């Protein structure tokens, strides 16, 4: 009977040791998972630089499919002579509306499907 009891005590101690090790490993795994998740979240954040002053001759706005939807520029064509112009494009990439100024004043133009200009103002 004492042999059975000693064997049972040894098994109980061994089981308790394994359970303790299992709890410790689960805590370590949880902490590691939290650290990895935090590192992945930090890596996902994109830092967008900001500036108080941006200088350029052309800004192109594109949609999710990288199609040009609007352009703000200072073209060097006689009609606008380097003055600012904002042009909007449809889904097919055709110019539809252009707003700008020149020495004579404001210009508002619309374009048909054949890219013919219609001065509105």
pLDDT in tens, the chain (121 residues): 566 778 888 889 999 999 998 899 898 888 888 888 888 777 777 677 777 788 888 999 999 999 999 999 998 878 788 899 999 999 999 999 999 988 888 888 899 888 888 877 6
Max distance between CA atoms of the chain, in angstroms, equals: 113
Task: Note the pLDDT of residue 70.
Answer: 95
Task: Note the pLDDT of residue 1.
Answer: 52
The answer to whether the beta carbons of residues 60 and 54 sit under 8 Å apart is: no
Encoded tokens for 111: 């374009």
pTM of the predicted protein model? 0.56
Distances (CA, A) of 102 to 12, 26, 82, 116: 92, 72, 8, 20
- The whole-angstrom separation of Cα 62 and Cα 119 is 25
Beta carbons within 10 angstroms of residue 100's beta carbon? 19
């Amino acid at each position: 009977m004492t042999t059975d009891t000693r064997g049972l005590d040894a098994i109980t101690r061994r089981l308790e040791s394994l359970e303790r090790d299992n709890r410790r490993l689960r805590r370590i795994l949880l902490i590691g998972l939290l650290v990895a998740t935090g590192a992945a979240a930090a890596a996902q954040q994109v830092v967008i630089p900001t500036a108080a002053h941006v200088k350029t001759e052309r800004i192109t706005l594109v949609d999710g499919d990288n199609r040009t939807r609007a352009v703000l520029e200072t073209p060097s064509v006689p009609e606008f002579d380097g003055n600012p112009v904002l042009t909007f494009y449809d889904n097919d990439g055709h110019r539809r509306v252009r707003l700008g100024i020149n020495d004579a004043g404001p210009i508002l133009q619309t374009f048909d499907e054949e890219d013919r200009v219609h001065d509105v103002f």
